[in-house]
Structures are given as structure tokens and as C-alpha cells.
Structure 1
Amino acid sequence: MKKTGFILLVLMVAVVGQSCTRQDESDQVCIKDNCVNVEIVKNEEDRRRGLMERDSLEADAGMLFIFDQSGVYPFWMKDTLIPLDIIWMDYARNVVYIAEDVPPCEEDPCLSYNPDKEALYVLEVNAGYAAEKGLQLGDTAQFQLRTMENKK
């Protein structure tokens, strides 16, 4: 009996520890204390693919595009099946442009969404996220990323 209790205790500690580890290992972007778990996109092939062909995105999830240098990076919705908010951030992680409720592209040529300022990071999240969370130009994002140092 004592042995069974000990085994159950060890298993419970392992499960709790594993779930905490998973949460701590998630890459996150937080703006105004609202955090989303993100997939990191750093290469050209993955940038072209983005969220194409996905039929859903979890409420607290997104995709963070990290560019090699600041620039004006237009985005389009080719083969993207869900509406999105697209949030551009500069080198200091300040929000410089928001395209809200961007619909999927249904006919060629697809519209291109162009920021009016340079960005180094672009965050794609579910449509309505920016309005729901009250995001505004000038808000500063905090990154909690395993893949790069969080300098801000």
C-alpha cells in the first residue's frame, strides 16, 4: 500500500513538473499583459508559407515573423483560410502598424497589406484580437523566446 502511494506521488509530481516545463518553454509575445504562444518564423521559406492552409488558430496562439533587418514588409493572405490581425513592430518592439480583421484572399490577385513604417517583427493572431485587447500604435511588446535573447 505504501509503495502504491509513493508511486502515485512520484507520477503526480512528474506530470505537474512536465506541464510547468511545457508552459515555461513556450515562445510568447506579450502586449499590454496579454500573451500569445507563438511559432517563430525566421527564414524566407517559412515566411512565404506563414499560416497558409490552416483552418484554425487557437485563441491564445499566433505566429511571429522575425526579419534580419528593419524594413517595410507587406503581407498577403494567399491560401490563408482564416481571418487575421497583423501587427507590425519596430526594432524596439513598439507596435507601428495594425491591420485588423484581414480576410482570407478569395480571388487573385490577393490584396497586400502594407505598413507605413519600418518593422523588424510581425505578429499574426486571430482576427479581432487587437480590438479585444485594446492594442494601439506605440504599445510595446515583451518577448519571451527560447530562440533568441529577450533584450527588452
Structure 2
Amino acid sequence: MKRWLVPMLFLLAGGTGAAPVIAAAPAVELHGHRFSVEFATDDASREHGLMMRTTLASDHGMLFVFPYQASQGFWMKNTLMPLDILYFNTDRRLVSIRSNVPPCKADPCPVYPSNAPARYVLELSAGTANRIGVRVGDELKIDGDVGTVR
């Protein structure tokens, strides 16, 4: 009975004998540095962003993807940690940097707009942009499927 149990469980689990396929986590590369990211591609996820989080690992971030290129503005309502906010155009070139943006402690919260039209916005832990030496014009490389943007 035992010698049949393992092969039977393998077949029931959909085993084919091939090595399992492990999907790579979504990531971006900027100025030679790789960051694991969460994608915010719909209105609800873009609105919630990194709210209510108290920490963000130095090699993690959130990439906001908009269905259009336009002036983008972010605020820090209910965001509990300072962030760097980096704005990229449709060509994924950095067009604007807002460094060390503090959490909003009282309404009304200030808005931090891009200096030029943007389609992608990357939020990283405060100080990261300066630490890795990003500059306007740097290219953002995106690994992973940003899915359907809504």
C-alpha cells in the first residue's frame, strides 16, 4: 500500500514529472538596483497604496501604473512612513523625484505633484533615491506583468 501512496498522491496533485515552474516576483530595476514591487494597477489599489504600513524593506516598493500619462499627484494620508516618490513617463524615464516625503499628520494633507507628465510612479523607502544616486532621465525596467490597467 505504501509504495502506491506516493505515486498516487503525485498524480492527484497534477504531477507530470517536470520541474515545477516558479513565477518570478514582480520587480523593477532602477539605476542598477533591483526592487521587489507590488503593482497598483486599478483605482482601488492605487488609492490604497502603502497606507497603514509601518515599514517597507529597503529592497521593496510599490509601482503605480496609470492608464494614461498626465501630471500625477500623490499625498501621504494614512501613510505612516516617509517615502521617496519617483515619477516616470510612458517611456519609463524618470521625470520627477520627491524625496523623503513625510507622512501626513493632519488634514488637509499636501499633494506632491510630478514636475512633468507621468504614467508610472514608484514609491520606495525614504532616502533610497539619494542612496542609489537616481537622476532625472534614468530608465525604469519592469519585470513582471502589470496586468490590465484600470
Q: Same fold (TM over 0.5)?
A: yes
* Structure 1 counterpart SS, 2:45: helix
Q: Which digits, 9 at most, give the CA deviation of each residue in 1:61-83, with x for residues without a partner?
A: 00000000101110000000000
Aligned to 1:44: 43
Matched, 1:82 2:81: yes
Aligned to 2:16: none
Aligned to 1:126: 125
Q: Which digits, 9 at most, give the CA deviation of each residue in 1:105-130, with x for residues without a partner?
A: 00110010011200010000000000
- One-letter code aligned to 1:83: P
Aligned to 2:60: 61
Q: Which digits, 9 at most, give the CA deviation of each residue in 1:12-56, with x for residues without a partner?
A: xxxxx88x93xx611111011101000000111111110000011
* Structure 1 counterpart SS, 2:129: helix
- Tell me the TM-score normalized by structure 1: 0.81
Is residue 26–residue 146 contact of structure 1 (8 Å, CA) maintained in 2? no
Is residue 72–residue 117 contact of structure 1 (8 Å, CA) maintained in 2? yes
Which protein shows a greater Rg? 2
- One-letter code aligned to 2:123: E
* Structure 1 counterpart SS, 2:109: coil
Aligned to 2:72: 73
- Tell me the TM-score normalized by structure 2: 0.82
* Structure 1 counterpart SS, 2:79: coil
Aligned to 1:140: 139
Aligned to 1:14: none
Is residue 41–residue 146 contact of structure 2 (8 Å, CA) maintained in 1? no
**How many residues are matched?**
129
Aligned to 1:113: 112
Structure 2 distance, partners of 1:147, 1:31, is 17
- One-letter code aligned to 1:84: L
Q: Show structure 2 runs of 5+ residues with no match.
A: 1-18
Q: Show structure 1 runs of 5+ residues with no match.
A: 1-16
Aligned to 1:98: 97
- One-letter code aligned to 2:41: K
Is residue 25–residue 146 contact of structure 1 (8 Å, CA) maintained in 2? no
* Structure 2 counterpart SS, 1:40: strand
**Superposition misfits of 4+ residues, deviation over 2 angstroms:** none
* Structure 2 counterpart SS, 1:86: strand
Q: CA deviation at 1:146?
A: 3.1
Q: CA deviation at 1:58?
A: 1.1
Q: CA deviation at 1:147?
A: 3.5
* Structure 2 counterpart SS, 1:130: helix
CA RMSD of aligned residues (A): 1.5
Structure 2 distance, partners of 1:55, 1:141, is 26
